[in-house]
Amino acid sequence: MPSINIHEAKTHLSRFVEEAASGQEIVIARAGKPIARLVALETVDSKPRELGLGRGRFNIPADVDRRDEVAVEAMFYGAESSAGLGSGAGADSERA
C-alpha cells in the first residue's frame, strides 16, 4: 500500500485513480500523516429491471389525453378559444 503526499496526488490524480481502479489501495498523506485512502468502488451487479412491476397499482383515467383541453387551447389560441370560437377557418375570420 503506497503512501503519497497530497501535492503528488493532486499532480498525478488521474494516474492514481487508474491504479486504484485496478485494485491497488493508495494512502494520501499530509506532512507525513495519512489523511485519506484512495480505493476502487465496489461494482454492483445490477440485473435489468422487470417490466410491469407497477401494473395494477395506478389508475390512469380514460380521458387522460383530453383533460384540461379547454385550458390548453386557451394557452395556445388565446382566451377567445375558450369562449366558443373554436379553431377552424371561421374563427380566424371572426378574430380579424
Neighbours of 4 (CB within 10 A): 16
Q: Could you report how far apart the first and last alpha carbons of the chain are, in Å?
A: 81
Hey, where are the domains in the chain? 3-38
CATH for 3-38 is 3.40.1620
Strand order in the sheet with 26-30: 3-5, 26-30, 33-38
Dump the DSSP string for the chain: --EEEHHHHHHTHHHHHHHHHTT--EEEEETTEEEEEE-PPPP---PPPPTTTTTTS----TTTTTTTHHHHHHHHH-GGGGGTT-SSHHHHHHH-
Residue 79: predicted pLDDT: 74
Residue among 2, 3, 66 nearest 35 (CA): 3
pLDDT tens by residue, the chain, 96 residues:
789 999 999 999 999 999 999 999 999 999 999 999 999 998 777 788 888 888 889 888 888 888 889 898 999 998 764 455 444 444 444 444
